[in-house]
Amino acid sequence: MTLLRHLAIAIIVALVLAGVSIQLGGYRDYQMAEVAAYVTAVAGLTLLLGLSGQISVGNGAFMAVGSYGGALLMLHLNWPLEFVFLAATVIAAAGGAVFGIAAARLRGPYLAGATLMLAVALPTLADQYAGVFGGDQGLSTSITTPAFLGATFPPTRWLAWVTCACALITLVLLANLGRSRIGRSWRAVRDDEVAAALSGLNVARLQILAFVVSAACAGLGGVLLAVVTGIVAPGAYTLTLSIGLLTAAVVGGLGSLLGAVWGSLVLVLVPTYLTNVAASHGLSGAASSSVPIAAYGVVLIVVMLAFPAGIQGGLRRLFGPAAPAAAVPFNALRRRRPATEHEEEGLHEKTT
């Protein structure tokens, strides 16, 4: 039933988006495609952060894995687009599995540190093996509009359709996953690892699975973004990207797929908007490029202080029923302090 409901919603949204994209101009269509690519990646991350309670500051690295994998298949094997997307997802998922297994014992800031290092280290490989990855120039990943749409069909609209379709499919799959047994198990692990393990859940396997899912989404998002921008180059996969994904997930609202959409909109549209505002106020030179950056920082801080549960949480508080669903508990990040001997004794006395 849930699957059917999610599918119905997705189809309606798809029709609306298609209608909207026809109304929009080329540049807006491009932005729409960009947002859809980010939504795909952020949705996976929000699942990791919000449901399984792990942190990743390095999902940009998995985006890089997906997009480079997809680009190589596109260039050398001429795979059709849908297989390229699928393969990029699988490749990134494999990368996520490797990292997830290696990092299964890490918690909180240690996981953050490891993923942060992954995010900055991995793109340097593209420079090192320039023969394969095209070095600084990168690889071209531009796609052509299929013939059946006619020669006059705007390419950006096609990009918007492709990316939105992928994003919607991803969201439907993730929404179902989140409500499945696996999703419930993730929540259990997030809220109390020890209790979850006692109930027979394999904590390590669940956490690795969450990493795999988030990496797969990042890989798909990465290859989508590559197709949108028409190029894969190491310059796109900086720390800024990874931090941007994390920001979008948290600002949008942790654990909420709709939040991933809000977060991605903020990530793409707010900097552009601020740049336009700065330009229209006649700022020039260094100030015109720096004012939007500073303002974006302020936006992040203000949103976080005003809506501690993210935009989605804030909306729920404003418009939704008075459900206490606002803040997602997020215990896993705080490293559990081991109970002292004294405390354990106390516990023992109470139970006996």
Partner 1 sequence: MQEFLEFTLGGIAIGMIYAAIALSLVLIWRGTRVLNYSQGGMAMFTTYVAWVVISHTGNYWLGFVLALASGLVLGAILERTVVRPTEGKSPLNSVIVTIGLLIFLEGLAGIIYGGQYRSFPVAFSLKGLKLGGVALGISTSDLFTAGAVLAAALALALVFRYTAVGLRLRATAFRPDVARLLGVRIGRVLTLGWALAGLFGALAGVLVTPTTFLYPNSMDSIFVLGFTAAVIGGLDSPVGAVTGGVLLGVVLSYAGGYLGSDLVLVYGLVVLALVLMVRPTGLFSAAAARRV
Interacting residues toward partner 1 by CB under 8 A = 49, 55, 102-103, 105-110, 112-114, 116-118, 120-122, 124-125, 127-128, 193-194, 197, 203, 239, 243, 246-247, 250-251, 254, 285-287, 289-301, 304-305, 308-309, 327-330, 333-338
| Minimum CB distance to partner 1 smaller for 273 or for 330 | 330
The residue among 30 and 307 lying less far from partner 1, judged by its C-beta, is 307
Give 345's contacts (C-beta < 8 A, 6+ positions apart).
Answer: none
Least Å distance, CB 338 to partner 1, is: 4
Only one residue has tokens 């800024």, namely 240
Between β-strands 231-232 and 139-140, what pairing exists: parallel, antiparallel or unpaired? antiparallel
- In this structure, is the dihedral angle defined by the CA atoms of residues 58, 60, 66 and 68, taken in order, positive or negative? negative
Task: Find tokens 């796609």 and name the residue.
Answer: 143
> What is the smallest separation between the CB atom of 316 and partner 1, expressed in angstroms?
15
Nearest-approach distance from CB 330 to partner 1, in angstroms: 4
Q: How far is the CB of 30 from partner 1 (least distance, A)?
A: 24
Please report the DSSP string for 185-231 in residue order: HHHHHHH-HHHHHHTT--HHHHHHHHHHHHHHHHHHHHHHHHHHHTE
Token couple for 325: 């669903």
- AA letter at 315: L
Q: Cβ closer to partner 1: 112 or 159?
A: 112
The smaller minimum CB distance to partner 1, of residues 14 and 98, is found at 98
Q: Work out how close the CB of 334 gets to partner 1 at its nearest, in angstroms, rounded to a whole number.
A: 6
| Least Cβ distance, residue 70 to partner 1 (angstroms) | 22
Q: Give Cβ neighbours of residue 11 (< 8 Å, ≥ 6 apart).
A: none
Q: Return the number of the residue (81 or 295) whose C-beta is nearest partner 1.
A: 295
> Which is closer to partner 1, CB of 279 or CB of 287?
287
With CA atoms as reference, report the closest residue to 262 among 309, 298, 323, 213: 309
